[in-house]
């Protein structure tokens, strides 16, 4: 999913209607916010970046590898299936949230794994067992801190709470998360410095999961701009859940990527999913690994680096045209611009009369390039079969380091099962396809 930070040019992503405001092509999943040379080391932990190529190398993707088995410690299972709301192509994990410093906890399944947003956001309805034990974060003026997190197709509105977050055996203690939908929709601020336009997405049917685990490359979901500016259009101080006004919010009170607060394996993540037949599959199981170069299961030997800008964008070329490209596990398709016929006047997906074999090129800041072949098949064909929700993904292992994206095994999937985009037309997105496998190194 694509998180938008008003007042700053950062972004993140969300699933729901999977809208991708690109005006450019988004090739695979999104991950790093990096830039600069391979020699700069300013990540959150001392994990080694492993071996990587210098500038100028070229590769072509050809994914075949299988994900490792999740060991329940620094690696946990990813499931792609009907999930909590019968959405397609949504990678989910389980997360345990606890009252800080206690054993009062709740494990919540079907949390969407999102490599293009930052922080944990839980649906109010999914966290009822523990919610009353999670203390509210106080705004800097003493009020109740709330957040309006904008995405490409709407926003999530709710309070900021303090909690211990546990995934596998990794724990992020006493961190701020967002609770979606625990405040009245009518209390969400509007106007220039209020919530962005779009839907207030506070229900399972709108999000497609019980929450969103944002593991993108940024630590905080806003950062310095919200810490110094009260009119940041993200953080608000409320009085008893109403009369909410903008408030400057120190980074320590902002929603934070839980991975960055783990004790050791805190400098990135690896997302692995298996090869899937071109016709799709009903389910897929992969692995989410915490840390990069910190354990025997997350080493980075023999990888090629693709440096990104500070927002995780790469340069891309498709049919001779230049685009800004990015990767995002929170979207259920690849989105790019072309002239293929759409499936209908209200659809944002392509329905070509025959399979189209295509390719695109990505280029990192250091000059490394990769040619990514992919195929486009009619979305109508892929989603045929009534209630069967296919999962169509091909394996790819990507590593995004503090200063770049490292491609290990080539990636890109071939065809994807698609869900119609509710708000796609207004965002000018078109597309098909998906990808799998990623590795993000955090700053």
DSSP per residue, 200-225: E--SHHHHSSSEEEEE-S-SBSS-HH
Question: Which pLDDT does position 3 carry in this prediction?
Answer: 62
Question: Which pLDDT does position 307 carry in this prediction?
Answer: 79
The burial class, CB within 10 Å (0-12 / 13-18 / 19+), for 276 is buried
CA-closest candidate to residue 3, choices 209, 253, 214: 214
Neighbours of 152 (CB within 10 A): 31
Write the CA distances from 294 to 40, 77, 264, 289, integer angstroms: 18, 19, 8, 11
HSE-CB for 351 with a 13 A CA cutoff: 15
Question: Which pLDDT does position 237 carry in this prediction?
Answer: 98
Query: In CATH, what class is 2-441?
Result: mainly beta
HSE-CB for 335 with a 13 A CA cutoff: 32
Q: Mean pLDDT of residues grouped by 10 in the chain (443 residues)?
A: 49 32 26 27 30 52 77 93 87 97 98 92 97 97 96 90 97 98 95 90 92 91 94 96 97 97 93 80 91 90 76 85 85 83 85 91 90 84 55 35 29 26 24 40 55
Question: Which pLDDT does position 240 carry in this prediction?
Answer: 92
Q: Compute the C-alpha angle 403/405/406, nearest 5°.
A: 115
Six-digit token string for 365: 């800041």
Q: Is the CB of residue 25 less than 8 Å from the CB of residue 323?
A: yes
Q: What is the C-alpha separation between 370 and 432, in angstroms, rounded?
A: 20
Six-digit token string for 182: 């625990």
Quick check: helix, strand or coil at residue 92? strand
Long-range contacts formed by 314-318: CB under 8 A, 24+ apart: 314/362, 314/363, 314/364, 314/405, 315/362, 315/363, 315/364, 316/24, 316/25, 316/27, 316/360, 316/361, 316/362, 316/363, 317/360, 317/361, 317/363, 318/25, 318/358, 318/360, 318/361
Residue 371 main-chain phi, psi, to 5 deg: -95, 125
123: left (phi over 0), alpha (psi -120 to 50) or beta: beta
Q: What is the C-alpha separation between 113 and 32, in angstroms, rounded?
A: 15
Q: Domain spans of the chain? A: 2-441
Tens-digit pLDDT profile for residues 260-284: 999 999 998 988 988 877 767 888 9
CA-closest candidate to residue 121, choices 207, 29, 183: 207
CA-closest candidate to residue 405, choices 316, 283, 284, 274: 316
Beta bridge partners, 136, equal: 161
Give every CB contact of residue 197 below 8 A, 6+ residues apart in sequence.
none
Q: What is the C-alpha separation between 262 and 130, in angstroms, rounded?
A: 21
Q: What is the C-alpha separation between 291 and 74, in angstroms, rounded?
A: 8
pTM above 0.75, yes or no: yes
């Amino acid at each position: 999913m694509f998180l938008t930070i008003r007042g700053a040019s950062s972004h993140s992503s969300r699933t729901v209607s999977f809208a991708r405001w690109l005006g450019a092509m988004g090739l695979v999943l999104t991950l790093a916010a990096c830039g600069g040379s391979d020699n700069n080391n300013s990540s959150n932990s001392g994990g080694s970046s492993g071996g990587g190529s210098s500038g100028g190398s070229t590769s072509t993707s050809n994914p075949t590898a299988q994900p490792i088995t999740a060991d329940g410690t620094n690696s946990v299972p990813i499931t792609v299936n009907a999930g909590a709301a019968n959405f397609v192509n949504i990678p989910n994990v389980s997360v345990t949230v606890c009252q800080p410093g206690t054993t009062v906890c709740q494990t919540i399944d079907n949390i969407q794994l999102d490599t293009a947003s930052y922080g944990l956001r839980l649906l109010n309805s999914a966290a009822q067992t523990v919610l009353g034990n999670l203390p509210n974060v106080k705004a800097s003026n003493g009020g109740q801190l709330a957040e309006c997190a904008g995405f490409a197709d709407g926003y999530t509105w709710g309070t900021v709470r303090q909690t211990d977050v546990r995934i596998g055996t990794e724990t992020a203690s006493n961190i701020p998360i967002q609770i979606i939908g625990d405040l009245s929709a009518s209390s969400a601020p509007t106007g220039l410095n209020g919530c962005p336009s779009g839907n207030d997405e506070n229900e399972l049917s709108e999000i497609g999961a019980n929450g969103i685990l944002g593991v993108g490359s940024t630590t905080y979901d806003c950062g310095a701009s919200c810490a110094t500016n009260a009119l940041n259009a993200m953080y608000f101080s409320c009085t008893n859940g109403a009369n909410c006004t903008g408030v400057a919010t120190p980074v320590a009170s902002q929603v934070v990527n839980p991975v960055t607060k783990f004790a050791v394996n805190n400098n990135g993540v690896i997302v692995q999913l298996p090869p899937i037949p071109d016709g799709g599959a009903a389910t897929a199981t992969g692995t989410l690994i915490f840390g990069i170069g910190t354990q025997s299961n997350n080493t980075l030997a023999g990888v090629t680096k693709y440096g990104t800008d500070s927002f995780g964008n790469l340069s891309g070329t498709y049919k001779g045209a230049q685009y800004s490209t990015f990767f995002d596990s929170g979207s259920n398709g690849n989105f790019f611009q072309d002239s293929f016929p759409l499936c209908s006047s209200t659809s944002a997906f392509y329905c070509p009369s025959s399979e189209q074999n295509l390719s695109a090129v990505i280029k990192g800041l250091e000059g490394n390039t990769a040619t990514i072949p992919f195929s486009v098949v009619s979305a109508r064909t892929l989603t045929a079969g009534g209630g069967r929700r296919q999962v169509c993904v091909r394996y790819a292992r990507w590593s995004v380091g503090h200063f770049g994206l490292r491609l290990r095994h080539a990636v890109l999937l071939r065809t994807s099962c698609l869900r119609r985009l509710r708000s796609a037309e207004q965002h000018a997105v078109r597309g098909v396809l998906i990808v799998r496998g990623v590795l993000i190194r955090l700053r």
